[in-house]
Amino acid sequence: MPIEAYVIVSANGMLADKTGIMPDALKFPADQSFFESALDSADLIIHGRHSHEDQKRSAERRRVVLTSRVPTLAKDGTHPLSTLWNPAGATFEEACAAAGVGTTGRIAVIGGPAVYEIFLDRYDAFWLSQAHQVNIEDGHGVFPGVPASTPQQILTSHGLRAAEHRVLDAAADVDLTAWRRA
């Protein structure tokens, strides 16, 4: 099953501020539009309990939410298309099956840091948007190893290489790079 990830980070690799919130400084229409289209074409979205994407078609999307509040897998009583998953108690393949997505389904991983890290050796593509004029002091890095290492160094160390590159917002110096398995 193809696994792709999506994130926007600051110049220093942060996806959220020191309070754990994604600041407005990281919200750009071109990036949000790219992100929304990507999720529309995914069969299953994977994220941690605090990283729901909160978009207008969110309720229509099948998702698996990581949490330690269940021992293995459970239906999320509040969202019919949502499955709760504790990786300590069930495999990723079991989580996909419980969510009703088979081996050919397209998976979109959307964070946060611990969740991005789990799939580092499995990504087919990691879509890294970066706002080069935004610095977030004492924030939350896209991976637990940031800022000791840059996101690019971590992706490289897991066998991914920079491929397509696109400018999303020239005035704000925001770009997008697809990191693909070599």
Ligand X SMILES: NC(=O)c1ccc[n+]([C@@H]2O[C@H](COP(=O)([O-])OP(=O)(O)OC[C@H]3O[C@@H](n4cnc5c(N)ncnc54)[C@H](OP(=O)(O)O)[C@@H]3O)[C@@H](O)[C@H]2O)c1
Q: Which residue in the set 3, 4, 5, 7 belongs to the binding site for ligand X (CB under 6 A)?
A: 7
Q: Please report whether residue 18 would count as binding ligand X according to CB under 6 A.
A: no
Number of residues that bind ligand X (CB under 6 A): 26
Minimum CB distance to ligand X, residue 140 (Å): 6
3-state DSSP call for residue 36? helix
Asked if residues 45 and 108 have their Cβ atoms less than 8 Å apart, the reply is yes
Residue 40 CA to residue 16 CA, distance in Å, equals: 23
Q: Please report whether residue 10 would count as binding ligand X according to CB under 6 A.
A: no
Q: Which residue in the set 25, 75, 87, 181 belongs to the binding site for ligand X (CB under 6 A)?
A: 87
Which of the stretches 74-82, 93-101, 112-120, 162-170 binds ligand X when contact is defined by CB under 6 A? 112-120
Instruction: Show the beta-strand stretches assigned E in 19-172.
Output: 44-48, 63-66, 73-75, 82-85, 107-109, 125-131, 140-141, 160-169
Q: Virtual CA dihedral for 50, 51, 52, 56, nearest 10 degrees? A: 130
Which of the stretches 67-75, 119-127, 155-163, 174-182 binds ligand X when contact is defined by CB under 6 A? 67-75
Residue whose pair of structure tokens reads 């990283």 in the numeric block:
51
Q: Which residues sit at the interface with ligand X, rule CB under 6 A?
A: 7-8, 15-16, 20-22, 26, 47-51, 66-69, 86-87, 110-115, 140
